[in-house]
Homo-oligomer: A and B are copies of this chain.
Amino acid sequence: MVRTGRRPGSAGTRAAILTAAGEAFAARGYGGATIRQIASAAAVDPALVHHYFTTKDQLFLIALRSAVDPERLLSQLFAGEVETLGERMVARFLALWEGGAGATASALLRTAVTGERIAQLVREVVFPTVVDELVRRVGVDPAEAPLRTTLIASQLSGLVTTRYVLELQPMASAPIEWVVAAVGPAVQRYLTGELPGLVGKSPPDGGRAGMT
C-alpha cells in the first residue's frame, strides 16, 4: 500500500497512517474504526493523524482513493474501444467489489456504498473522482456529464443491491461475464447514448414528457 520509494519522514509517516487506515476501515467499517486505533497501528501519535488528514472523513476518502487508485482504473477503462467502455466499467466495478483489485479496495468500496454515514462523502468525492472524470474524458457535452454520471451510478449501485445485498437469484450467482454482457450496454447508453433533454431542452420525442 506504500506506493512510493520515498524515504521515511513525513511522507513515510503519512503513508503508514494511510495503510493502517485502509486496513482498519476495511476490517471494521467506517463507524467501527477509530483514529486512536489507526494511530496505534501506524505507531504514531493520534495528533499526527489529525495533522495529516484533518478528520476521519478525509482520512477515509483518501484511503479509499489510494486503494482504488482512480488513475490506474481510468487507464484500464480506456484501454479499448469507446463502444465497449460500458462493459469494461461493469467488469471493473464487479472485479473491485469481489476483491479482484485487492481485499482492501474491495472492503473499502463496500463500506463506501453501503454505509449510510458516508453517503454524503461518496456523493461529493468518490463519484466526481472516478465516474465524472471518466464521463468527461469520453468527450460528451459537459452540461450532460453530471446526469450521465448519476444514471451510471443508478445502474451500478443497483447491481450491488441485487447481486450482493439482496442476493436475488439468478443474478447473484450469474458469472461476471454474463452480467457484463447484460448490463454493459445499459451503462454504455448512459455514457455515450442519446438521452432526453432536461432543463431548457425539449425531450427527443416530444409528448413523452407528459405520459405519467
A residues 13-34 in Cβ contact with B at 8 Å = none
**Residues of A contacting B: mostly:** helix
Docked pose: A186 CA to B156 CA in angstroms: 13
Q: Which residues of B contact A147 (CB under 8 A)?
A: 170-171, 174, 182
Q: Which residues of B contact A45 (CB under 8 A)?
A: none
Whether A162 contacts B157 by the Cβ 8 Å rule is yes
Q: Is A146 part of the contact surface with B, judged by Cβ < 8 Å?
A: yes
Spot the interface stretch: A36-44, A62-70, A103-111, A119-127: A119-127
Whether A154 contacts B150 by the Cβ 8 Å rule is no
Q: Which residue in chain B gives the minimum CB-CB distance to A146?
A: B170
Determine the interface band of chain A, counting residues with CB < 8 A from chain B: 35 or more
A residues 165-187 in Cβ contact with B at 8 Å = 165-172, 174-178, 180-183, 185-186
List the number of copies, as a whole number: 2
Docked pose: A205 CA to B154 CA in angstroms: 26
Q: Is A151 part of the contact surface with B, judged by Cβ < 8 Å?
A: yes
Whether A154 contacts B177 by the Cβ 8 Å rule is no
Q: Which residues of B contact A208 (CB under 8 A)?
A: 87, 177, 180-181
Docked pose: A146 CA to B87 CA in angstroms: 22
Q: List 9 A-B contacts (CB under 8 A).
A: A116-B165, A146-B170, A153-B162, A153-B166, A154-B155, A156-B158, A157-B158, A158-B158, A181-B205
